[in-house]
Structure 1
Amino acid sequence: MRGCESLNPYQQYKENAILTASPEELVLMLYNGIIRFIDEAKTALQKKDYVETNAKIQRAQDIITELMLTLDMNYDISKNLYNLYDYMLRRLIDANVKKDIEILDEVRGFAVDLRDTWSLALQKVREKVYATKG
């Protein structure tokens, strides 16, 4: 990691946000990253920039792989998420090989649903914690 003095203010803010985020907030950031990289891949694909398309799809794949590796397989939900992540990975590979925006949209839809569900669950937990404190 670089020293903060070499970062511009936006990079420093981003790095601080990641370093101070709770594990739950990090998951939300990862889902947002998948969505962002898929959007960037779609833009690159529309421009027929296949090198950039590949790079962005691979970034989304890396995030999904990281999510898979952090699952606690002692819970049934983790097994279900693992299967969904595995499907998303395979579809991203298909999208990359076929240069198919519709497949990217499909995977993006899963990522948006996961992000929105996670965000709602996080909000409910926070409300419950604040209700018990106040």
Structure 2
Amino acid sequence: MNHEQIQGFTRRLSQCNRGEMIIIVYDILFTYLADARKALEENDRDSYKYALRKAQDTLSELIGALDFHYDLSKNLYSLYVFCRNELAKVMYEGKSDRLDTTEDILKHLYAGFKEAAKQDTSEPLMSNAQQVYAGMTYGKGQLTENYMEIDTHRGFFA
């Protein structure tokens, strides 16, 4: 994951609500899986292992966020643990077939969460974050986003 992607995810996280947050975490996970696939094709073993470890860490975050008061969480837990174990096997086998299987499972889950997120009308999690305005200026070949500093005390209130 490069610096621009990290900035993009950070910006999205500062503006998201509960439903959008899970989508962003999945997007981060898919970015790490794409990085692992690219490193495997380029035979860059260190980057490959790093990307897979980060993907496993992201899956661990998804597992940690589950609320086991709901039966669905138990099913998601099983799927996440399976995917995390498959990534561990992929790391040492160096083959992309298990990576394909894992990515397919996660894409199906992602589609379901994306539909659910469309129905979430809750407020953004960070109520005092910088506002992002896109389209006010343009850089060479790209849209530039501006951040408006309204209050110096932004972010989560302690």
Same fold (TM over 0.5): yes
* Identity percentage of aligned residues: 24
Name the residue aligned to 2:117: 122
1:85 aligns with 2:80: yes
* Larger helix percent: 1
Name the residue aligned to 2:102: 107
Asked which structure has the greater CA Rg, the reply is: 2
Name the residue aligned to 2:55: 60
> Against the structure 1 CA distance between its residues 10 and 31, is the aligned structure 2 distance closer, same or farther, given a 3 Å change threshold?
closer
Q: Taking structure 1 as the reference length, what is the TM-score of the superposition?
A: 0.81
Cα RMSD for the two superposed structures: 1.9
Displacement of 1:36: 1.4
Checking the alignment, whether the CA contact within 8 Å between 1:34 and 1:108 is kept in structure 2 is no
Counterpart code for 2:20: E
Distance 2:111 2:18 in 1: 16
Aligned length: 119
Checking the alignment, whether the CA contact within 8 Å between 1:31 and 1:114 is kept in structure 2 is no
What is the SS of the residue equivalent to 1:19? helix
Structure 2 residue runs of 5 or longer lacking an equivalent are 122-158
Displacement of 1:16: 2.8
* Larger strand percent: 2
Deviations, residues 38-82 of structure 1 (Å, cap 9, x unaligned): 111011001110100000011111110000001000110000000
Q: Taking structure 2 as the reference length, what is the TM-score of the superposition?
A: 0.69
Deviations, residues 73-131 of structure 1 (Å, cap 9, x unaligned): 011000000010000000000000101111111111111111111111222x25xx6xx
Name the residue aligned to 1:31: 26
What is the SS of the residue equivalent to 1:73? coil
Structure 1 residue runs of 5 or longer lacking an equivalent are 1-7, 130-134
